[in-house]
Amino acid sequence: MNDEQERARQPGQGEISYESLLPVDEHEEEEISVDGRKERRRGIYLLPNLFTTAALFSGFYAVVAGMHSHFEVAAIAIFVAMIFDGIDGRVARLTNTQSKFGAEYDSLSDMVSFGVAPALVMFSWGLNGLGKFGWAVAFIYVACAALRLARFNTQIDTADKNYFSGLASPAAAAVVAGTVWVCARADWVGEELPVALALLAGCVTAVVGFLMISSVKYHSFKGFDFRGRVPFVVMILVVVGFGIFMLDEALVLLGGFLLYALSGPAAILYRKFLVKK
């Protein structure tokens, strides 16, 4: 081996390394503590970011499907994105592969899948015939999703893990996507779509958008222990739940997430008017 080849194999001495010839810079992870000393790790964790990428792709696919009037497929893609979004964080925690890069990537993926995609699918389905009202409602939802995610990122270290402040963006997206899915399955599309229904859907989109940036408390269910023991009747209820879901999955999902979206304001009204002080 000649001297020139040896210098190429030893970067950090003023020579150009093979890595520097790559067209993409290597990402450096945040500092971590190893045996009491801080180290910087290069690269990113693959496994959790694979699920985040799958969620991002599902959101993008929903937009494309909505643009081609495949509204049922678009709505289903948003729900698939919710599944992947729920998996990536749990995988990161189980495998101890959390990182700042993963958190930022997850937030950007959420913006596409639960901010942009639901608004564009809803707009393509029923709001485009409402003129400026449709444009305004779709933009309000997107802007509220962006504000929601920005606020969540700044409060992630101080927020109560058991409750969300405001409606979580995946739940809001589920209400919007579920509305489109149910109506598209009933063939309320295009000329068959009543104007009153389109206006109602627009109002629902705006309301869930504002709920995202509200201070209403929603239970996060993060403290639920899936590994613990439960009474046998709980398993029976789970089986019944699957049976009900199979009757009409679109209507069940819409109803479930709509009830969850209403649970926050309902709890406030209950405490204010019904609970004795």
Q: Is the Cβ–Cβ distance between 106 and 52 less than 8 Å? A: yes
Q: Is the Cβ–Cβ distance between 119 and 66 less than 8 Å? A: no
Tell which wins on pLDDT, 3 or 59. 59
Q: Using alpha carbons, select from 91, 84, 90, 76 the residue that is nearest to residue 110.
A: 84
Query: What is the tens place of the pLDDT at every residue in 128-186?
Result: 999 999 999 999 999 999 999 999 888 877 667 788 999 999 999 999 999 999 999 99
The secondary structure of residue 192, as a DSSP letter, is G
Query: What is the tens place of the pLDDT at every residue in 65-108?
Result: 999 999 999 999 999 999 999 999 888 888 888 888 898 999 99
pTM for this predicted structure: 0.85
pLDDT of residue 126: 92
Share of the chain above pLDDT 70, in %: 82
DSSP states of 3-60: HHHHHHTS-SSSSPPSGGGSSSPPPEEEEEEETTEEEEEES--HHHHHHHHHHHHHHH
Q: What is the largest CA-CA distance in the chain?
A: 87
CATH number of 46-274: 1.20.120.1760
- Taken as a whole, the chain contains a residue count of 277
| Predicted confidence (pLDDT) at residue 33 exceeds the cutoff of 90 | no
Q: Please state, rounded to an integer, the average pLDDT across all residues of the chain.
A: 86
Spatial separation of the C-alpha atoms in residues 78 and 124, rounded to whole Å: 15
Spatial separation of the C-alpha atoms in residues 111 and 59, rounded to whole Å: 9
pLDDT of residue 161: 78
Tell which wins on pLDDT, 192 or 118. 118
pLDDT of residue 277: 54
